């Protein structure tokens, strides 16, 4: 296993629209990010991942790109970007961009040409099919955001494929010209000095030959077997690596949609020369049974233990994974996995203790470092996310749930939870902007905000700083051999990690009650590296944990 900068690094994900608004138009921007680089550095971050900043009509907030080599005017100019890159590097951090290569925007010049006629030279940049015999879509594929994945085009009388919204037509990767276009866009940014890419839904680029109907199984299974992992995906990722990534000191972080432990190695085993790191979804999706806005299962610690174990085993010594508990596509981590009320501080810190002591690269999503929570939107007019809006609209047609329940589900699971503006202070709009922001600021910004937490040594923010520093100083946090203790304990997560001379033990209490743990050695003398409480009750070999207490002991 090669030790490289991106494995040990901690990634901080920025959703630019919601991060910081420098010119007070209600929309976060690149200069707003520059203003906060010292703040990010103060968290001991190594790599910044920016969600898309390219020109886009914003049907899916930048994940629908209309020009891969330009900056969205709302976010600023190319000069702003160049400055951001320079200032990031100056502080010893790296910057990666979000490469959305599976689809572009229907307002991209390629698609505007392609839909003109069947003979247009850009026609074959996309997936076009004749209607089925009854005039309907060519097969039963569903969009990830609801409804058919096919949209009829009146002009040429054919359907085009869009696995996401109808304004996100899928690119045809079988066409070598398409691949060259994407590689050129990558080269454009890499030549500027960016350090790599997070690759949006990359396992979807290769489509099943003949576009066969999906079987009647759960959506997750359909993704694995029908939409993702197509026949040519590895050929093209290999080509991308050879022609582009390998020529630079850059890395690729694969969004692992549809990847499971049995095929992960095909994407990220080092000797296969495809992608560098797999961002798996298992933690993020652990309470989602099939798809969003469907059945939700309760949080289960044993399941979490299995997930981490499964991934350690799957890629042990050959590939690399990234772990995340929050991002721009899911509700807030503290609201989902912790207790965002009584044990708010304790559970936030305990979850972070778990995340930062796991093997793999750690991803932190903006705002989680101050424990930002879900928001309750009062009406559908306040909802901005296209996935939630599509769900709501579809539901109006089917009447499966009442309107009230549909909104409740959106408030519980919707992506806007993670996209509310970052709460910098208790001032108007949380200090994000003077102007009314594009999405409501969480009213709890009056208490939960960066400014308050800066001055409080016991804040979540300062805890993140502390533990990330410890992680940086101790390789065992990232690379250590893992030994589970009491695997079947449903309340405590306990493990030892060893790397050379370094030996730590992590003990985490996932309950709002005290927890007890007996170890086979005397623990009285051990040194406590990290603790989310002031003290720890140890009596010889017996430890008593407070509600949501989490500690890292130095056994070395
Ligand atoms: C990824 C992104 C998500 C986006 C989708 C389509 O899952 O994380 O935000 O909507 O791809 O590009
Ligand atoms: Ca702005």
Q: Please indicate whether residue 164, judged by its CB atom, sits closer than 6 Å to ligand 1.
A: yes
Q: Which residues pair with 554 in a beta bridge?
A: 504, 527
Q: Please indicate whether residue 418, judged by its CB atom, sits closer than 6 Å to ligand 1.
A: no
> Which of 256-260, 295-299, 447-451, 479-483 bottoms out in mean pLDDT, i.e. has the lowest?
295-299
Dihedral sign computed on CA atoms, order 135, 141, 145, 146:
positive
Ligand 2 mean position, distance from CA 419 (Å)? 15
Q: Is 504 helix (H, G, I), strand (E, B) or coil?
A: strand
Task: Name the average pLDDT for the chain.
Answer: 96
Nearest to 231 by CA among 195, 264, 206: 206
Over residues 537-542, mean pLDDT:
92
Q: Which domains does the chain have, with CATH numbers?
A: 5-103+176-375+444-466 (3.20.20.80), 109-161 (3.90.400.10), 480-554 (2.60.40.1180)
Share of the chain above pLDDT 90, in %: 93
Catalytically active residues, by annotation:
200, 255
Q: Please indicate whether residue 416, judged by its CB atom, sits closer than 6 Å to ligand 1.
A: no
SS (H, E, C) 341-386: CCCHHHHHHHHHHHHHCCCCEEEEECCHHHCCCCCCCCCHHHCCCH
Ligand 2 mean position, distance from CA 33 (Å)? 10
Res 372 pLDDT > 70:
yes
Res 202 pLDDT > 80:
yes
CA angle 413, 329, 112 (to 5 degrees): 125
Pocket test for ligand 1, best of 329, 390, 418 (most atoms within 8 A of CB): 329
Dihedral sign computed on CA atoms, order 241, 245, 248, 251:
negative
Over residues 51-60, mean pLDDT:
98
Read off the pLDDT of residues 485-527 as tens digits, 9 standing for 90 and up.
999 999 999 999 999 999 999 999 999 999 999 999 888 889 9
Res 118 pLDDT > 70:
yes
Over residues 357-382, mean pLDDT:
97
DSSP annotation string for 259-307: --TTTHHHHH-GGG-S-SEEE--TTTTTTBSSSTTS-BPPP-HHHHHHH
User: How much is the pLDDT for 340?
Assistant: 85
Res 1 pLDDT > 70:
no
Class of residue 87 by CB neighbours under 10 A (exposed 0-12, middle 13-18, buried 19+): middle
**Is there a contact between 361 and 277 (Cβ–Cβ < 8 Å)?**
yes
User: How much is the pLDDT for 5?
Assistant: 87
Residues 6+ away with beta carbon under 8 Å from 413: 288, 292, 293, 296, 330, 331
15: pLDDT confidence band, cut at 50, 70 and 90? Answer: very high
109: pLDDT confidence band, cut at 50, 70 and 90? Answer: very high
Distance CA 227, CA 219 (A): 10
Residues 6+ away with beta carbon under 8 Å from 402: none
Class of residue 153 by CB neighbours under 10 A (exposed 0-12, middle 13-18, buried 19+): middle
Over residues 5-17, mean pLDDT:
95
DSSP annotation string for 437-502: PSSPPPGGGGTS-HHHHHT-TTSHHHHHHHHHHHHHH-HHHHH-EEEEESTT-SSEEEEEEEETTE
User: How much is the pLDDT for 294?
Assistant: 85
User: How much is the pLDDT for 189?
Assistant: 98
Share of the chain above pLDDT 70, in %: 100
Read off the pLDDT of residues 267-319 as tens digits, 9 standing for 90 and up.
999 999 999 999 999 999 999 888 889 888 888 999 999 999 999 999 888 99
Read off the pLDDT of residues 397-454 as tens digits, 9 standing for 90 and up.
999 999 999 999 999 999 999 999 999 999 999 999 999 999 999 999 999 999 999 9
- For the record, the structure tokens of 312 come out as 């350690």
Q: Please indicate whether residue 340, judged by its CB atom, sits closer than 6 Å to ligand 1.
A: no
């Amino acid at each position: 296993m090669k030790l490289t900068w991106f494995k040990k690094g901690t990634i901080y994900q920025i959703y630019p629209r919601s991060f910081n608004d420098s010119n007070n138009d209600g929309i976060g921007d690149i200069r707003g990010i520059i203003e906060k680089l010292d703040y990010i550095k103060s968290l001991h971050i190594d790599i910044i991942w920016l969600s898309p900043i390219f020109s886009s009509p914003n049907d899916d907030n930048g994940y629908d790109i209309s020009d891969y080599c330009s900056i969205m005017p709302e976010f600023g100019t190319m000069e702003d970007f160049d400055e951001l890159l320079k200032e990031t590097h100056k502080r010893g951090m790296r910057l990666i961009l979000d490469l959305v290569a599976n689809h572009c925007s229907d307002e991209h010049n390629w698609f505007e040409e392609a839909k003109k006629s069947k003979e247009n030279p850009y026609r074959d940049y996309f997936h076009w099919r004749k209607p089925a015999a009854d005039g309907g879509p060519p097969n039963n594929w569903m969009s990830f955001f609801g409804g058919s994945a096919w949209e009829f085009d009146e002009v040429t009388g054919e359907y085009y494929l869009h696995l996401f919204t109808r304004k996100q037509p899928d690119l045809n990767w079988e066409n070598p010209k398409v691949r060259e276009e994407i590689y050129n866009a990558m080269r454009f940014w890499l030549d500027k000095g960016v350090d790599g890419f997070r690759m949006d839904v990359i396992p979807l680029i290769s489509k099943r030959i003949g576009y066969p109907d999906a079987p009647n199984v759960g959506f997750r299974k359909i993704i694995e077997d029908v939409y993702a992992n197509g026949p040519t995906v590895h050929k093209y990722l290999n080509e991308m690596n050879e022609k582009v990534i390998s020529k630079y000191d850059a890395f690729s972080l694969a969004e692992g949609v549809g990847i499971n432990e049995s095929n992960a190695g095909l994407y990220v085993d080092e000797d296969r020369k495809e992608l560098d790191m797999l961002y798996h979804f298992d933690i993020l999706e652990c309470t989602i049974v099939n798809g969003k806005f469907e059945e939700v299962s309760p949080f289960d610690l044993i399941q979490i233990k299995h997930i981490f174990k499964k991934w350690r085993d799957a890629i042990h010594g050959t590939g690399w994974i990234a772990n995340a508990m929050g991002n721009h596509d899911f509700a807030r981590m503290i609201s989902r996995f912790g207790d965002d009320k009584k044990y708010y501080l304790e559970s936030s810190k305990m979850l972070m203790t778990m995340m930062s002591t796991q093997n793999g690269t750690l991803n932190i999503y903006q705002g989680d470092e101050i424990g930002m929570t879900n928001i309750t939107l009062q009406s559908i007019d306040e909802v901005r996310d296209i996935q939630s809006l599509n769900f709501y609209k579809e539901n109006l047609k089917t009447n499966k749930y009442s309107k009230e329940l549909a909104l409740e589900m959106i408030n519980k699971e919707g992506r806007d939870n993670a996209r509310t503006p970052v709460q910098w202070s208790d001032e108007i709009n949380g200090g994000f902007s003077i102007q009314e922001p594009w999405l409501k600021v969480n009213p709890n910004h009056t208490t939960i905000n960066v400014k308050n937490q800066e001055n409080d040594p016991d804040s979540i923010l300062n805890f993140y700083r502390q533990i990330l520093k410890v992680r940086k100083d101790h390789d065992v946090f990232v690379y250590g051999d893992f030994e589970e203790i009491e695997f079947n304990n449903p309340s405590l997560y306990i493990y030892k990690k060893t790397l050379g001379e370094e030996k730590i033990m992590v003990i985490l209490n996932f309950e709002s009650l005290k927890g007890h743990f007996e170890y086979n050695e005397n623990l009285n003398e051990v040194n406590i590296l990290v603790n989310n409480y002031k003290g720890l009750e140890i009596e010889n070999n017996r430890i008593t944990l407070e509600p949501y207490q989490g500690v890292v002991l130095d056994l070395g």
